[in-house]
Amino acid sequence: MHSIRPYRPTDRDDVYDVCVRTGAAGADATGLYSDDALLPDIFAGPYLAYQPDLAFVVDTGERVAGYIIAVENSRAFARWYDDNWLPRFRTAHPLDSAPNADERQVIGWGLDPRSSIVPEVDRFPAHLHIDLLPELQRQGFGRRLIDRLLAALHERGVPGVFLRVSSANASALAFYRRLGFRELPSSSPGSPVLGIATDTEV
Ligand SMILES: CC(C)(COP(=O)(O)OP(=O)(O)OC[C@H]1O[C@@H](n2cnc3c(N)ncnc32)[C@H](O)[C@@H]1OP(=O)(O)O)[C@@H](O)C(=O)NCCC(=O)NCCS
């Protein structure tokens, strides 16, 4: 029986695994970069370390196969990242040893957490990442994870949440739009940015 529950530290390896297996615009990114930990060290690990109480998972009874993670204040998160995550990230993923431009670009995201912050951050201070293994997709878990997170942000008085999507991920874009996320002014077809208010009842 699948259940949605708060994240526990023992879920970390499963979250890393889900992040890699959905990391290529929704498809499997295993083997894409020199180190499979590169994507989760940017898009999962720091969130779990900084704000584990805003992480929720889908537990299949055997493992965690999906998650939503977020930070409530993207600017504060970036400051924390510089001091607490970046030193280890630099050592684990040296830019000099990246074999190609694609990998250099990804490492660049990990070196500059501010690059993902949107101009609309005052209205939408939080940001999120959500990923489900293929066997869990299109069964309502994504909607339930989003509902859970939006309720948690609302309770904390956070006014809104933004996210970035790969323009290649048409499926995720359709999902977010269906759930009421809307393109922010800084959004462009090549770099979609969506947001939703959490200061009204959700
Ligand atoms: C994107 C993702 C989180 C969506 O979660 P999900 O559990 O598959 O979606 P749900 O079943 O909860 O769907 C919720 C609603 O969105 C709609 N929807 C979901 N995917 C859709 C698609 N590809 N096209 C059109 N509508 C879609 C559903 O029909 C549903 O509508 P309804 O509730 O009104 O019937 C999930 O598919 C996923 O993890 N994909 C791979 C990783 C990824 O792309 N993550 C996002 C990176 S930005």
Instruction: Locate the domains of the chain by residue range.
Output: 3-197
Residue 66 Cα, ligand 1 centroid: separation in angstroms? Answer: 12
Q: Ligand 1 pocket: which of 69, 131, 138, 162 to mutate (most atoms <8 Å of CB)?
A: 138
Residue 31, judged by CB atoms within 10 A of its CB (0-12, 13-18, 19+), counts as exposed
- In this structure, which amino acid lies at residue 174? A
Please tell me if the CB atom of residue 131 comes closer than 6 angstroms to any atom of ligand 1: yes
Q: What homologous superfamily is domain 3-197 in, according to CATH?
A: Gcn5-related N-acetyltransferase (GNAT) (3.40.630.30)
CA distance 18 to 26: 10
pLDDT digits (tens, 9 = 90+) for 174-194: 999 999 999 999 999 999 999
pLDDT digits (tens, 9 = 90+) for 69-127: 999 999 999 999 999 999 999 999 999 999 999 999 999 999 999 999 999 999 999 99
Give the nearest ligand 1 atom to 165 CA: 48
pLDDT digits (tens, 9 = 90+) for 7-50: 999 999 999 999 999 999 999 999 999 999 999 999 999 999 99
CA distance 95 to 113: 15
> Of all protein residues, whose CA lies closest to atom 43 belonging to ligand 1?
26
71 near 50, Cβ under 8 Å? yes
CB atoms < 10 A from the CB of 162, how many? 24
Q: Where are the beta strands (DSSP E) in 37-192?
A: 56-59, 64-71, 126-132, 160-164, 182-183
Please tell me if the CB atom of residue 58 comes closer than 6 angstroms to any atom of ligand 1: no
* 3-class state of residue 83 by DSSP: helix
